[in-house]
Amino acid sequence: MDISFIIVSWNTRDLLVDCLNSIEKHAKGYSFETFVVDNNSSDGSSALVEKLFHNRVNLIRNSENMGFGRANNQAIKYAKGRYVILLNSDTVLNEGTVSGLVSFLDNHGDAAMSGPRMTDENGKPQNSYDNFPALITELLNKSILRKLFPEKFAGKSLKKKLPFEVDSLIGACIAIRSEAIKEVGMFDEDYFFFLEETDWCFRMRKAGWKIFHQPEINIIHLQGQSKKIRPVLSWIEYYRSLYKYFKKNRSRASYLCLRIFRFFKLVINLVLTFIGLLFTLGKKKRLREKTVIYSRILWWHLTLCPEHVGLKGKG
């Protein structure tokens, strides 16, 4: 079999259907299978998939929200394809996306992963790849780093037309060589949501595999649909994953420095946002939202980052 498509779904029913339709439209000519792992959605996603794609989709229903990495692993264990293509449920394949990914990996045996350029529905570019998190990327402003050192800290504004090697890919669409998965292993399930694909890419690179971005092919990504459902808990989960990544892959000194810096940055952001809220007499909705987010994340830190607070079990 050529391809195993895997989609992890959580309360994005209509978007999921669009994603599945795009697979069936643009994967013609390849032998493929499709897995949908539903993380205990409450919007009828599973029932609709069974109704519209009966016998064409392997549906795995979870009784709780398993997170991104663990849910993908559930399907990867059964995947038969030479390549596994992970897709977010809020993505839509375009003409040439699948053939571009497959042909590139066919012709580059040293590549473990490759990913396309991602845009929103209006063609606006999104970050499709990233550097591995390090103190310099977390202590300084990424936008400034990308302007000063565009080759080292490449971003969505970088104009390249041919595939090039990157540190890591954004997990909304990644094609992975099954051989590399067998060698390196699957996702680290200690990550619940965020940075699990970054950690995976780090392990792939450490094992000697290469990772590429393909700007010549494109996929539509309606970014952050699941994150919008519970923004505060999503941010807490991001901080938890960032700390896990540093503790696992960076020095102890870097990890401690990150923890201290992030805490004081939160305090400063909360104070400045609250001042802005006072000056605008509380009329700015975005400032009100940011005040709530910063205060709750800060409270999570002050209560020593309890594991039970976050997206786990909130499916």
What pLDDT is recorded for position 85? 98
pLDDT tens sequence across 124-180: 989 899 999 999 888 887 778 877 777 777 776 677 889 999 999 999 999 999 999
Higher pLDDT, 156 or 250: 250
Query: How far apart are alpha carbons 143 and 149 in whole angstroms?
Result: 10
pLDDT at 147: 77
* Mean of the per-residue pLDDT values of the chain: 92
> Could you write out the DSSP letters of every residue in the chain?
--EEEEEEESS-HHHHHHHHHHHHHH-TTS-EEEEEEE-S-SSSHHHHHHHHSTTTSEEEE-SS---HHHHHHHHHTT--SSEEEEEETTEEE-TTHHHHHHHHHHH-TTEEEEEEEEE-TT--B---EEPPP-HHHHHS-HHHHHHH-TTTS--TT----S-EE-SEE-TTEEEEEHHHHHHH-S--TT--SSSHHHHHHHHHHHTT-EEEEEEEEEEEE-TTTTTTTSHHHHHHHHHHHHHHHHHHHS-HHHHHHHHHHHHHHHHHHHHHHHHHHHHTTT--HHHHHHHHHHHHHHHHHHTT--TTSSSTT--
Q: What token pair was written down for 68?
A: 């991104």
pLDDT value of position 224: 61
CB-based contact 4:81 (threshold 8 Å): yes
Which pLDDT score, from 0 to 100, does residue 228 have?
Answer: 64
Find residue 164's DSSP bridge partners: 213
Residue 113 CA to residue 161 CA, distance in Å, equals: 18
Residues of the chain above pLDDT 70, percent? 96
Q: Do 222 and 234 touch, CB atoms closer than 8 A?
A: no
Instruction: Name the residue ranges covered by the structural domains of the chain.
Output: 3-221, 231-302
pLDDT of residue 152: 77
117 touches 128 (CB < 8 A):
yes
Q: pLDDT band at residue 315, thresholds of 50, 70 and 90?
A: very low
CA distances from 242 to 43, 225, 301, 309 (A): 30, 20, 13, 15
pLDDT in tens, 191-232: 998 999 999 999 999 999 999 999 999 999 987 655 666 789
Nearest of 125, 126, 129 to residue 198 by alpha carbon: 129
Checking if the pLDDT of 49 tops 50, the result is yes
Closest CA to 187 of 70, 299, 102: 70
Cα-based distances in Å from 4 to 174, 259, 283: 12, 39, 49
Residue 265: beta bridge partners?
A: none
Give yes or no for a contact between 203 and 277, defined as CB atoms under 8 angstroms apart.
Answer: no
- Note the pLDDT of residue 2: 97
CATH T-level topology, domain 3-221: Spore Coat Polysaccharide Biosynthesis Protein SpsA; Chain A (3.90.550)
104-122 pLDDT, tens digit each = 999 999 999 999 999 998 8
Tokens 């975005």 correspond to 286
Whether residue 64 contacts residue 40, with contact meaning beta carbons closer than 8 Å, is answered with yes
pLDDT at 313: 52
Interacting residues of 38 by C-beta distance below 8 A, sequence separation 6+: 9, 10, 45, 46, 49, 59, 60, 61, 62
Averaged over 10-19, what is the pLDDT? 93
